[in-house]
Structure 1
Amino acid sequence: MSAQHLTHTQADRRSPRIAIVGGGLGGLVCARVLQRHGRTVTVYEREPSSEARSQGGTLDIHAGTGQQALQAAGLFDAFSALARPEGQEIRMLDHTATVVRRFLPEGEADRPEIDRGQLRGLLLDSLAPGTVRWGAGVDSVAPLDDGTCRVHFTGGATDDFDLVIGADGAWSRVRSALSAARPRYTGVTFVESSFDDCDTHHPEIARLVGHGSMAAKGSRKTLTAQRNSNGHIRVYSAFRAPEDWHTALDLTDGAAVRAHLLGRYDGWDESLLALLRDNDGGFVHRPLYALPVPHTWDHVPGVTLLGDAAHLMPPLGVGANLALLDGAELARVLVTEPTLDSAVRAYEDVMLPRSAEHAKACGEGLNRLITVDDAQEVLFPDLEGMRSS
């Protein structure tokens, strides 16, 4: 019998072969915690390098989830040195640019902001050299009868592992080994744009957004803006529309997209329309998808999921925090439970109901933030509840 085909019991008597598919936040923190405890792990990432694409906007890292995971990873002090406590400020406006509500940080930094790219870089730098195999796409995985799992890589190669952790996001290739569920369109689309060095070049936008985030709300649509590091501001036009709303629109034509958005927000205050009119560069289409709630599966030895692969939900400040917590908790039980299988069962018994609760709250929060019906309340009746979900 080859080393790759040891029985599950035999595998637990030696250092198990663990593969993490996906180099996002959850997978990387899982790898970091495992390595802190002397375990060997390999992360397989489809992208060719860490600089292959922008990592997105800013994240508020919560004390009871994301911060807890960073403490387990031994990276909390390094995170705190980069984080922006002032970024917790939120301004809520109506479509006339009248401030409806304003939230300010209270006491110690509970949910400081950090750019996703900065946090990912912090995690990558903490790993042993060679941990991440860049350009290693995974097409599928197949659980084997002996409790191990075979990974089918892009290009035809295969390899067997004692445990495969699917941390490969919304369109996970690992998920199909456990579940037939696919992400569904939520009915809400985001169109992203941005401003560079706002404090110098766009002072009016900088004042409108403030130190953290701004959201202006109308019926069936919002305009939100988030301050990132170095004066960079990302803007999201969010509205309800059919999934194919852009069929007659060339999304690569910035002028055409701008004209379309200005039409959608016709009648809004000019200070808000400037978020659409004066941005630097083009627009990025980001339709929102979510997995069914609850998303569960029957336990299968040799494979599990974390983060968006397990519980994709609307982006209301919860997903990244749960991915970090998933990764840290899975790593913890992998080094404390007597067998891999008992560890994965213990992890799934906690993670699945927790994620279902948060996904339900995020779905309800999205419906409050971007109303389904024109007759619904257009202000912010329960924002604090959404922020704590």
Structure 2
Amino acid sequence: MHLAIVGGGLGGLTLARILHLHGIDAVVYERETDRSARAQGGMLDLHPESGQQALADAGLTGRFRSEARPEGEEHRILDPAGRTLVHHLPRPGDFSGRPEIDRSVLRDLLLGSLPAGTVRWQHRLAAATPRPGGGFALTFEGGLRAGCDVLIGADGARSVVRALLTDTTPVAIGTLVELTVTDADRRHPELAELVGPGNLWCMGVRRILAAQRLADGSIRVGISLPPDVGDPESLRHKDAVLAMFEGWDPRLTALITAGDGPPAPRRIEAMPTGTQWAHRPDVTLIGDAAHLMPPVGEGANQAMLDAAELAAALAADPTDPDSAIRTYEDAMFARILPIAEMSARIQAMMLSPTAAADIVRFFTPRAAEPTPDASVD
């Protein structure tokens, strides 16, 4: 069985690692030129029942704990005047909750666990075509070609593999504007103190100014807006972004002015809740390719759990991958539906006119739903 995974993100790498532990070889085709080609984003809080479970299946719990930062769970929510609405302090050194880890660190951990040559860099998939005798012919940009018996699409929001299974595509649900403040302790100690070791959210009317501290000492700033507020192109200038926070405490808007370069806006998208597809032999999707959700803390966790469950199904009977895929898909569709519905509710709540009051109620001790996360999945 020649198994191809398209996409070397957290889901694809987790799948390759667990398959390797079960003696099943897979090739990961990744569009980036190398492992350091681009920044990987901010922090992730890994949930015990999903992301951490997948790492346990991958035999990487010890390495994860050596790199994770439980103190990153500290979380403060402020109003536009700078008043504290919620302040969550984790127990020092406690890994029982959702310890934070930089996305880049987690990706490096997974890459380091794979045999040399597993990841084929600079392979951007252009087309996947069914072969008459079964399997798929893969064509990459630049004319590179390969074939496989089983194809797993872990290629994210703009998945090429998805087109083999459904014509459903993501829809815009918001805008995210990102900035980075490097070397914050030395260059901007007042902002380092404001953000602390974890996450800071400043909740306004239909807008959020958020920041999180990364392990390298930088601060990642993210501004969340509804899709009908602001033109992304105009938000490439700090003055335009600052105008959206007129009247806010200058200590908060200093997170924008301190950014190392121009703001980087982009559309946030999600797949329609409840998206499924009719089973097709020898091909399936994991992670954002399957169920792109609002960025409230579930995306990476569910992608890694997808990988673990698909790997377990394939390892249970490697001679019948079609049955394994069917088993995985049935379970994944049932698991994802309530999580996607919950994520959509949280996204709407956080960008509503009454977001501050709603989020304070949400964080009062009765946490029946996963805590939303300021990081982008």
1:291 match: 271
**Greater gyration radius:** 1
* Post-superposition CA distance 1:292-351 (Å, at most 9, x none): 111100000011000000010111111000111111111111111351011101110111
2:250 match: 270
- Do 2:212 and 2:220's aligned partners in 1 also have CA atoms closer than 8 Å? yes
Could you say if the C-alpha distance between residues 114 and 108 of structure 1 is closer, same or farther in structure 2, counting changes exceeding 3 Å?
closer
- Do 1:258 and 1:277's aligned partners in 2 also have CA atoms closer than 8 Å? yes
State the TM-score, normalized to the length of structure 2: 0.92
Note the 1:185-264 alignment, pairs <5 A.
Answer: 185-186=172-173, 188-242=174-228, 245-247=231-233, 249=234, 251=236, 257-264=237-244
- Do 2:172 and 2:227's aligned partners in 1 also have CA atoms closer than 8 Å? no
Q: 2:103 aligns with which of 99, 111, 116?
A: 116
Amino acid at match of 2:327: A
2:85 match: 100
> C-alpha separation between the residues in 2 aligned to 1:96 and 1:250?
23
1:345 counterpart = 2:330: no
1:6 match: none
2:29 match: 44
Q: Please give the root-mean-square deviation of Cα atoms over the aligned residues, in Å.
A: 1.7
* Post-superposition CA distance 1:53-101 (Å, at most 9, x none): 1011111011110011011111110111000000011101111110001
Give the Å deviation of 1:386: 5.5
Could you say if the C-alpha distance between residues 37 and 246 of structure 1 is closer, same or farther in structure 2, counting changes exceeding 3 Å?
closer
| 1:315 alignment partner, SS class | coil
Amino acid at match of 1:275: L
> C-alpha separation between the residues in 2 aligned to 1:197 and 1:354?
41
1:279 counterpart = 2:259: yes
Task: Say how many residue pairs are matched.
Answer: 364
Q: 1:309 aligns with which of 289, 295, 320?
A: 289
- Do 1:143 and 1:303's aligned partners in 2 also have CA atoms closer than 8 Å? no
1:357 match: 338
1:318 counterpart = 2:303: no
Mark the runs of 5 or more structure 2 residues left unpaired by the alignment.
Answer: 373-377
> C-alpha separation between the residues in 2 aligned to 1:159 and 1:150?
6
2:166 match: 179
> C-alpha separation between the residues in 1 aligned to 2:104 and 2:191?
23
- Do 1:311 and 1:356's aligned partners in 2 also have CA atoms closer than 8 Å? no
> C-alpha separation between the residues in 2 aligned to 1:144 and 1:300?
14
Deviates further, 166-175 or 359-368: 359-368
* Post-superposition CA distance 1:145-189 (Å, at most 9, x none): 544222222234443312100000010000000010111000x21
Could you say if the C-alpha distance between residues 299 and 144 of structure 1 is closer, same or farther in structure 2, counting changes exceeding 3 Å?
farther
Deviates further, 360-369 or 17-26: 360-369
* Post-superposition CA distance 1:254-307 (Å, at most 9, x none): xxx110111100010111111111222232112210001111000000110000
Give the Å deviation of 1:230: 2.3
* Post-superposition CA distance 1:127-154 (Å, at most 9, x none): 0010011111111223345442222222
- Do 2:206 and 2:226's aligned partners in 1 also have CA atoms closer than 8 Å? yes
Note the 1:322-333 alignment, pairs <5 A.
Answer: 322-333=302-313
| 1:378 alignment partner, SS class | helix
Amino acid at match of 2:356: V
Could you say if the C-alpha distance between residues 84 and 162 of structure 1 is closer, same or farther in structure 2, counting changes exceeding 3 Å?
same
